Each structure stands twice: as C-alpha cells, then as structure tokens.
Amino acid sequence: MEKAAQRAAQTSAPGEGTTQKISLHAVGGSSLGLAAQCLALANGHNNANAVVPYSVFYNAAVNEHIDIKEEVPRFRMPEGVSFCCYPFLLSPTTKSEIIRIESVILMRTELQDSFFRAMFSGVTCPYLVLEVRRDSLVRDTLYQLDLKLNQDLRKQLKVRFVGEEGVDEGGVQKEFFQLIVRDVFSPKYGIFRASESSHYHWFRPQAVSSQDTLEEIRLTGQLIGLAVYNAVILDIHLPPAIYKKLLGVPVTRDDLRQVDPALHHGLTQLLHLSPDELGFLERTFVAEYDDLGELCTHELIPGGAQTQLTADNRELFIDSYVDFVFNTSCERQFAEFKSGFDQICGASYVRFMRPQELELLVCGCSDLDFAALERSTIYDGGYTKSTAVIQNFWLIVRQFSDDLKRKLLFFATSSDRVPIGGLSKLHFVIAKNGGDSDRLPTSHTCFNVLLLPEYATVEKLRERLLTAIHNSEGFGMI
C-alpha cells in the first residue's frame, strides 16, 4: 500500500520531480484501490484478534498525499469512493483535519441557509451566539442552548462575555470552554467525581437528583461536542471508558483501572484467592461505594444480598461489578451525556474514530515539545529567529517548568492544550510590538499571536513575560 500510494503521487515535470495529491476516485480499481480493500480485510481480522497495534495500519504515504478538501465532499456523496471509507489508514492528525473540514462545510451551509431564511422570514442570526456572565457560565449557557434548534448548533460559535469588549475570532470561545468545563466538572455541581489517584472523572452514581441535574449532564455532552465541532481542545480528564461508550465500543475490566484504581486492584486480587480465603471474606453480590461521605449499596444480581461470593462465581461477581460501575450506576447520566454529544457530533466523521483517537481530538496530546514549537514559530513585524529579543525569549522559555510553559500557551492562545500532531501544528506567531518599553507582552489569542516589545535586556524580558502569563485570564489585554 505504501509503495502504491507513493507511485500514485509521483508525476513528471520538466526538469524536476513533483508529487500530486492522490485519490481513490481517480485511480478507480487500480492497485491503490485494491490494496486498500485488502488492508481492510487484514484490519478486520486484527480488530478481532489484536495481532498488532492498530496504529500499524496508519499509512504514511496516504496521510501525506491525501487531498482532504476533495475527499470529504466525495465521502459525503451517497456512493462516493474516498480514502475516508478506510479510516484505519488515516492517522489521528488526518482524521482531525477531516472533521475540521467537515465542520467548515456545515458551517458555511448553515451560513448560506441563514441568509436565505432571513430574506423570506425576517432576521436570522448566521452564528450560534452565546452571551454569558463569568459568574453564571453554566446557567447562562444551559438556558441559551435550550432555546436553540439543532440547525443552530451547526453554526459557527461566537461567545461574548457580558460587560467585556473581547471580539470572538476564536480566542474568546477557547477561554469560554476552558472556564465552563472547569465549572461543570467541579464538586459544586456534583455530577462527576474524580479518582484521588488517577484524577479521572466519572459519573456519580447518585447524581440524578432532579431534571436540572439531567440538563446539566446533557449540557456537558453538548459542550464537548461543540468543542470538537469548533476545533477547540479541552482541559478535561475523562477515562478511556467514556470514549469507548460514546463510540459503542464495549468496556472491559481493565478500563476500571482509570476510573477506580483501588476497586480494580481489589477485584483483580479476588482472582488469586483460594476458596477458603474467599469464604473468609463473607462477601455477597452487593456493590458498596461512597457517595459524598455516605455508604451506599446496590445488589449486583437479583437476590445478590443473599448470594455468597465463592470460587465458582467470582468471575460473575467481577463482571457484574464492572457492569454496575460502567452501565447500571450511570445509565441515565450517560444517556443524557451521549444525547448532548450526539446532538452535535452524532452524524460526523467522529463515529469512524477509535476511542484513543477521539480522546486525542477532545483533549489534545500531552507532549510539551517546545523544541518543535520553536522550530515552527513564524516571526512578523521585523523579527526573525536571529533577532536578539527572540533568542532571549527562547532562552528563557527553555528554562520554564511544564507549568509555566502551559501558562505561556494559555496566554498566547487561550488554551494550554497541545493539538493533535504536537505543538508544530499550532501556527504560533511572535510579532514585534514596538521598541524597548515597560509595557507587558500581549496576545491575539484568536490567531495564536504573541505581541512582544523589543525589550533591551533578558532580565526585563523575563520579568515582563512572567508578569503577563501569571495574569492571563480575561481579555483586558487583548
């Protein structure tokens, strides 16, 4: 497949070799199309037997030469032939770009439809506009989204903080998402609980106390869907099991390791106890869990309180406990969460992703490779990579802790997350903002631009930069 894709990309040009974009539509039933079909069979076998890691099927040549802008519309046609039909070949970076292009197409369609509707039926806003107060983010957002039609949710998002002058060209919405997910996952709302050891969030079994709570859970799913749709990476800590359930992939015992490490360890130990040791436990088929300091119980099977745990039924006990954690205990909560997410992303290319890829799409990657960021940074306004203040800037940043690096990212981009593909995909720009000055650095977070005065000394640059990034929340400096 790799060689077939490379050959398909090669063309001849006078005096030099050039490459072109490849397409299954163009090659029809040629070796490239046949290779993709054969690999689809191999991938299906691998999915069933896990012979090799799924990433082995990512095809470098296809990912390098695919023309995504052509492939997405073709894939959306009833009988379109496209590389998108073979998602196992495509890397997470390529899939995220497919989803971005898909979202742009839908946004443009909604924009055009809004103008036509406005012509015949009055004023229609071409954007999904949210006006929210910082001290009432969840309530304001929940109220406004509840009034929107499904077609409105497919419009481009614009956020305005009440009483502030920030114009949303992308930066305001990034801050909005970071702030509101921090709220909905906090103990204040009591929807999720975080494992003290793994720090992953999972649904509280007793979280459904009112219709308001269900609406807040659905809002959480909508927010994650809107973030994906608008290409915003979130700082959230959800376990792999969430992404599996969103994509309809069965969860396993091992998924319990992230949700409740202590419970996972305890259930695993049961497999190694002798019959006498199991009898000594005097355990029945009842789940026990702490909910806000209250000890709660739930029968794992009908008559569980009268069913003793033995060596013969311990496998059933473990499977029933895992099913309770991932399904029974959060059935209503997850149904609302998935409903909110699917309202935005249910029909998108997201459904062709693997759970691990969806997690990358939502949260970004964890690799703070600032060397890659330095190599890919663009300079503007008279700066170059050899300008003294730029060399001083990177000298300082290389000495930053990971925490300070994330603060710098947040200051310059309104997000401290790393996009799929790493920091080289950030399109980071450092632009000159005048000569030596006492002014702080500022940023155009909508465009990932850091505005840096040409400070005369490295000490002054360090002091001014640290002051700026430690006070970056809000748009007073933007």
Helix (H, G, I), strand (E, B) or coil at 146: helix
Q: What is the SS3 string spanning 289-351?
A: EEECCEEEEEECCCCHHHCECCCCCHHHHHHHHHHHHHCHHHHHHHHHHHHHHHHHHCCCHHH
Burial of 443 (0-12, 13-18, 19+ CB in 10 A): buried
Based on the residue annotation, tell me whether 446 is a catalytic residue of this protein. yes
466 DSSP assignment = H
Which among 84, 330, 345, 446 is annotated as catalytic?
Answer: 446
- 6-13 long-range Cβ contacts below 8 angstroms, 24+ apart: 6/61, 8/32, 8/65, 9/61, 9/64, 9/65
Tell me the C-alpha distance between 426 and 421, whole Å. Answer: 9
Residue 98 has, within 13 A of its CA and on its CB side, a CA count of 29
Buried-exposed string 259-271: b where 16+ CB fall within 10 A, e elsewhere: bbeebbeebeebe
Relative to beta strand 128-132, strand 157-161 is parallel
Distances (CA, A) of 213 to 107, 342, 381: 30, 19, 50
Q: Which of 85, 70, 16, 20 is nearest to 7 (CA)?
A: 20
Tell me the C-alpha distance between 421 and 208, whole Å. Answer: 38
Phi first, then psi, for residue 408 (nearest 5°) are -65, -45
Helix (H, G, I), strand (E, B) or coil at 12: strand
Relative to beta strand 10-13, strand 201-203 is unpaired
Q: Which of 383, 402, 370, 404 is nearest to 452 (CA)?
A: 383
Tell me the C-alpha distance between 264 and 2, whole Å. Answer: 41
261-270 vs 314-326: helix axis angle to the nearest 10? Answer: 160
Q: Which residues carry out catalysis?
A: 446
